[in-house]
Amino acid sequence: MELKQELIIVLDFGGQYNQLVARRVRESNVYCEIYSYKTPLEEIKKKNPKGIILTGGPDSCYLPDSATYSKELFELGVPVLGLCYGAQLMQHLLGGKVERASVREYGKIKLTVDKADSALFENVPKESIVWMSHTDYISKIGEGFEITSHSYDCPVASYENTAKNLYGIQFHPEVLHSEYGHVMLGNFIKNVCKCECNWKMDAFVENSIKAIKEKVGNGKVLCALSGGVDSSVAAVMLSKAVGENLTCVFVDHGLLRKNEGDEVEAVFGPNGNYKLNFIRVNAAERFYSKLAGVSEPEKKRKIIGEEFIRVFEEEAKKIGKVDFLVQGTIYPDVVESGLGGESVVIKSHHNVGGLPDYVDFKEIIEPLRDLFKDEVRKAGLELGIPKHLVFRQPFPGPGLGIRIIGEVTAEKVKIVQDADAIYREEIDKAGISQEINQYFAALTNMRSVGVMGDYRTYDYAIALRAVKTIDFMTAEAARLPWEVLEKVTNRIINEVDHVNRVLYDITSKPPGTIELE
Ligand code: XMP
């Protein structure tokens, strides 16, 4: 059965918050797809969207080679909302004027609404804080448009042409710093696009399963299952789509948390609740020997990532012909690997970027590539995966390999596993695990002098990390109760050999990242 759903299209002009725009639309319960600004108008028309949102972008719309779009977009009779660059471009194309501002506006700015009865400003107060980030500004609006708000430095903070259902917002309503931004986007969706807002995660799951079925046909599918939230959700989704044609390979790379290999096998293996054709590969020695002597983080990530692919490839050959490889890549992985547009590579996540040429799979399937973590969890619940698995904290593909600063050895893995197990146990006992989004112990490569009994020690320092975050793109350190930190510290030093010091990392992201490497 074809699912009928309302669609909002986000036209991507290369800004950094574009996925956030899509996410906000989905939070209003309307399905949303992102297309490049290079997508022809005909294709957009065929999708029959209820509304179109033009995103921000790095260009200056009045310069010759800047990203642009056909003016006909504004004649379709479909409501259009331009954000930042999108708002400037709409004016540039429709008779307004965009110029370089003498003052670059950046950060939290006070917005004053001039037209309180604008459809965009229902339930928005006359004054509120919004997030601005622009160098160009709209100095004059085209005929038929009306200014609906301003800020101190920005005469046109928003505008509208109600007859044509065209709207523009110079600031970024999609970021949380814009106090009423989500209300404004919701207003556009409900008041202007007239959406009924009945899209839910079950529709996403159902559509994804249908799309995977169509794509895969009778092909064989191999899934990289780590036991983490993302790959588990991807695996279960695939098993619903292709049944027996799915094989899940779980690589125990020796960089898992304490006892994790056995735990994953208990849930997803032959004695568990799922039919995944589960294969466990114990490859610790293989990974350790590849990692011997390597201390540079990117190099470690590359080695672990490549070894993973090699292991899969070998398993795939044993199965016979494999056409598709499934991975649980989610959106933050994509952005931070520099694939989300203009952004630079922060870390190369080993499960992102497609397969190198020399690998023998026809195609990669990443059903969660457009979702943020909390959305993946919702999808997991829709798929009937038990809560305790769905709400597990995330664990990165390269595992403890990136929680051990410097060279990875079997001995260091054991230290960090034991310390981490104690940390997790005490957080659980304190009943605060659900308040923290990710927490773990890492091994600093630092050794320092201590005293134990009457002896001098010269041992490692463990770093404890605990962060609060919604989407893992930004995060702040959790304020753990002192008694918990004290207890964990005492236990680690007493129970874990070769550790004589415990540090608590209070760095936020940015400037830090959540993992240490
Ligand atoms: P960072 O350290 O980049 O982490 O702030 C953001 C989130 O992503 C996880 N992470 C990874 N996940 N492969 C993954 O599957 C990776 O290579 C990887 N590196 C980091 C990290 O645990 C956090 O949740």
**Whose CA is closest to 37, among 100, 92, 89?**
89
Which residues have C-beta within 8 Å of that of residue 238, sequence separation ≥ 6? 212, 221, 223, 246, 326, 365, 367
* Residues tagged active-site: 84, 172, 174
Indicate whether residue 394 lines ligand 1 (CB < 6 A). yes
- Ligand 1 midpoint to CA 394 (Å): 8
Retrieve residue 165's tokens: 């259902």
Instruction: Provide the percentage of residues in the chain whose pLDDT is more than 90.
Output: 71
Dump the DSSP string for 423-483: HHHHHHHTT-GGG-SEEEEEEEEEEEEEEETTEEEEEEEEEEEEEE-SSSSSBEE----HH
Residue 515 CA, ligand 1 centroid: distance in Å: 6
Say if residue 268's pLDDT is above 80.
Answer: yes
What is the 460 CA–ligand 1 centroid distance (Å)?
A: 24
pTM of the model: 0.71
- The pLDDT value recorded for residue 351 is 52
Spatial distance between the Cα atoms of 227 and 231, rounded to a whole number of angstroms: 7
Q: Is the CB of 472 under 6 A from ligand 1?
A: yes
Dump pLDDT digits (tens) for 183-216.
Answer: 999 999 999 999 999 888 888 899 999 999 999 9
Q: Which residue has the tokens 């773990």?
A: 440
Mean pLDDT of the chain, nearest integer: 91
Amino acid 357: pLDDT: 47
> Which of ligand 1's atoms lies nearest the C-alpha of 350?
17
Nearest ligand 1 atom, CA 475? 5
Which segment of 87-96, 271-280, 486-495, 499-508 scores lowest on mean pLDDT?
271-280
Mean pLDDT confidence for 9-27:
89
Query: Over 60: is that where the pLDDT of 336 sits?
Result: no
d(CA 109, CA 174): 15
Query: What CA–CA distance (Å, rounded) separates 22 from 26?
Result: 6
pLDDT band at 16 (very low <50, low <70, confident <90, very high): confident
Ranking 140-144, 389-393, 444-448 by mean pLDDT, the lowest is: 389-393
Q: For 157-166, 181-190, 222-231, 297-306, which range has the lowest pLDDT when averaged over its residues? A: 222-231
Residue 12, token pair as written in the block: 């991507």
Nearest CA to ligand 1 atom 16: 349
392 lines ligand 1 (CB under 6 A): no
Residue 332 has pLDDT above 90, yes or no: no
Q: Can you spell out the DSSP letters for 100-152?
A: EEEEEEEEEEEEEES-TT-GGGTT--SEEEEEEEEEEEEEEPPTT-EEEEE-S
Q: Taking 50 as the threshold, does the pLDDT of residue 226 lie above it? A: yes
Residue nearest to atom 12 of ligand 1 (CA): 396
Q: How many CB atoms lie within 10 A of CB 268?
A: 25
105 lines ligand 1 (CB under 6 A): no
CA nearest ligand 1 atom 10, residue: 396
Higher pLDDT, 347 or 303: 303
3 state SS of 44: helix
| pLDDT > 50? residue 497 | yes
Neighbours of 34 (CB within 10 A): 17
Per-residue model confidence (pLDDT) at position 344: 45
CA of 402 to the centre of ligand 1 (A): 9
% of the chain exceeding 70 in pLDDT: 94
Residue 248 has pLDDT above 90, yes or no: yes
List, for residues 351-367, the tens digit of each pLDDT value: 544 454 445 678 889 99
Q: pLDDT of 386-418, one tens digit each?
A: 888 898 888 888 999 999 999 999 999 999 999
pLDDT score recorded for residue 371: 86
Q: What is the pLDDT of residue 303?
A: 96
What's the confidence (pLDDT) of residue 352?
A: 45
Mutation test of ligand 1: which of 376, 393, 472 has the most ligand atoms closer than 8 Å to its C-beta? 472
How far is ligand 1, taken at its centre, from the CA of residue 347, in Å?
Answer: 9
Per-residue pLDDT at 462 exceeds 70: yes
Please state the atom number of ligand 1 nearest to the C-alpha of residue 393.
24
First to last CA, the chain: 46
- CA triple 28-29-32, angle to 5 deg: 95
Q: Assign residue 146 a region (left: φ > 0; alpha: ψ between -120 and 50; beta: otherwise).
A: beta
